[in-house]
Amino acid sequence: MKGKNCMKSVKFLLPLLLLCAVLFCGCTGKEEKKIDEVVKRELDLLKHLDSDTTQKYISYQEIFPGDLEDAAMSSDVEEVFSLFFQDFDYKILDTSVNRDKAIAKVSLRLFTLDARALAEDFSKALLKHEIALAASDDTEDDQTVTLEDRYMLLNQLLSSNKYQTVERNCSITLTASEKNEETIWEIKRTTTLENDLVGGLMNYLSDPDILSPEDTLLVYLDTLKNMSTEELANYLNADSIVSTEDPNKISLANALVEQVHNIFNYSIGETSVSGYHASVKADITTFDSEAILNSYQSQLDDYLSSTDAVIDGAQKRYNKSYQLLIDSIKENKEEKTVTTTFTLINDGASWKLEDAGSVFGQALFGTLSSSPVEDSEEDS
């Protein structure tokens, strides 16, 4: 009899439990749907390049946290984000709700452009820009790279390159608040979410090893090879040869730089890294300074042993010596490849070649890093 009563109780309770389960699942499902709608609404605005939503979730200053310029978001910066998000998409994978803690979590798969490839290209472009500033003869201008400069570089890269789309999983946290007896869900904005929405770009840009030591040296060498003669002269400190306003020394520096510009080539060798220091070997092809000096010395000896040298006097001999040297440089066809070891230091932001202009000047000018012609009495 007792067993029959228990069975009756179970039969009575079972429909009630099922009804409660259905009601609970219905409430939970309704809440999840509401949460999904909030996420979809915000990400669809981002997908459709809404600038207000972009500014809401992505701080243009946080992309480059080292730059503390306080400026309004310009149209150029807006264009960068429009280009970045033009192929942006997402897929909601799962939604979970903790009503007691008024917190929800939505798991997503994001589809963004390849931010790592963009960061690598940007790091190369930034280094080229810094080298170009160092090679500029306009010393009066501030050579600091500004936040605007950085976004201009990003704009150029995004406008001229087509980056692949990559997938990235992330989660979005939402918090609930009550308003007029209705639960309002709001996305919690965090640096992690900001970084996820831009495909990890913030982390990649702050990675001090985004470019390897050999990649860094290649940027230096590529940039040098494509410089104009004037830029090359400025960057290689050719003015160290031109220590005065002497037109002979100015002509000498120009002739040397022209030789470098015509002959300079390179190939990267082995690399060794120890902590924050790296050594990269490179085969540098430049003019054969020894061949030039031999040709010059031979012609100079012939001149000095002539009666013309006695008649000319000191100043004319000085001018003639420089003319013979410059002619030897201009007529030179000999090349020389030497293995040079470059030392790079990682300062926590990136790999850098210290005192790069002087290092390359010595590697490229060889024994002609200083003039072999003695100063005239007028200069001394």
Maximum CA extent, the chain:
143
pLDDT number for residue 106: 98
Q: Which residues of the chain have pLDDT under 50?
A: 10, 17-27, 380
For residue 64, the tally of other CB atoms under 10 A from its CB is 18
Closest CA to 353 of 277, 260, 285: 277
**What pLDDT shows up at residue 249?**
85
Which ranges constitute the DSSP H helices of 95-182? 115-135, 147-160
Q: What is the pLDDT of residue 21?
A: 41
Residue labelled with tokens 């470059």: 342
d(CA 130, CA 125): 9
pLDDT in tens, 72-129: 556 777 888 889 999 999 999 999 999 888 999 999 999 999 999 999 999 999 999 9
* Distance from chain centroid for Cα 374: 45
User: What is the SS3 assignment for 4-53?
Assistant: HHHHHHHHHHHHHHHHHHHHHHHHHHHHHHHHHHHHHHHHHHHHCCCHHH
H/E element, 346? strand 335-346
β-sheet bridge partners, residue 173: 105
| AA letter at 62 | E
Q: In sequence order, what are the beta bridge partners of 279? A: 272, 343
